[in-house]
Amino acid sequence: MSGWQTQDIPRQDGKTAVITGANSGIGYYTALELARAGARVVIGCRDAARGEAALKALREGSGGQVELVALDLASQASVRAFAAEVQAARPRVDLLINNAGVMAMPRREVTVDGFERQFGTNVLGHFALTGLLWPALAASPAARVVTVSSMMAWVARIDLDDLQSERRYSPMGTYSRTKLADLIFTLELQRRAAGTSVISVASHPGGSTTNLQRHSFDGLMKLVGQSAADGALPSLYAATAADVRGGEYFGPRGWFGARGAPGRARVPRRARDERIAAGLWDRLEQLTGVRLDPARTGSRAA
């Protein structure tokens, strides 16, 4: 795994990859390299103008097949519409990269559905999308769900009675809890999907310079962060490398896990708590109305 770079990505011909938040940053470079490797790439973007600009650049930069479908993860209706449109055109999905996110909103905001914005986008949006796309993922002989977490998951603690930071909100504290929740979801999905053709893995980009830091750490990342292209490498490794196993976590291997070539990362102890995982899963199903039972019935939306 030493020095793994984009030239080491195996050919992805015949595969369909769905990537959220691919109009910029890590998602953009993940989409670019998968398209260059031959995958048919579907990018989900909230902003139409930025999405169209990214679509043009991705097609020109990769010479591959890239499509754009509108997606606002902060809207459960938009998630449902996106999943329906994708599956109507692509009944088989081989890679789902749950990449999009919002970070460190200065004040507590709520989505159109009334959810705290960071939790609603980073966690509920991706949980619902994974569940709604499950039939297409299960149709693949070897699908992968890659959920992007963060180094900040290490400092977080999940409170099942305050998932939406109604009692206690802080910009980075709430963000960190969503990223821990993403890791918990990744591991619980792998437990529940055992025996199916789908594996669930996670990645984090270390310290990467993207527009995600516009509310926090912007100056620091410009000084010490790696590029968004390098930050995409853990996601690309998790999505394509032959030695990846379900439940694994990938991130940069150098400089305290903040930069460098991708490798296996340590999973925080709190992310491995199966009691919390079961409780979180139940709450995610209740809040989204998406019932996901990979080993038995797949998924259905209320």
Q: Which residues are catalytic?
A: 175
- Beta bridge partners, 264, equal 250
Rg of the Cα atoms in the chain: 17
In the three-class reduction of DSSP (H, G, I as helix; E, B as strand; rest coil), residue 208 is classed as strand
Report residue 281: phi and psi, to 5°.
-60, -45
Place of tokens 């990744």: 186
Buried b (16+ CB within 10 A) or exposed e, 248-272: bbbbbbeeebbbbbbbbbebbebbe
Listed in sequence order, the residues at least 6 apart from 135 whose beta carbon sits closer than 8 Å to its beta carbon are 87, 91, 298, 299
- Listed as own residue / partner, the contacts of 114-118 with beta carbons closer than 8 Å and 24 or more positions apart are 115/74, 115/164, 115/287, 116/164, 116/165, 116/166, 116/169, 116/174, 117/74, 118/165, 118/174, 118/175, 118/178
Listed in sequence order, the residues at least 6 apart from 3 whose beta carbon sits closer than 8 Å to its beta carbon are 261
Q: What would the two tokens of residue 211 be?
A: 């527009």
Q: What would the two tokens of residue 278 be?
A: 């079961």
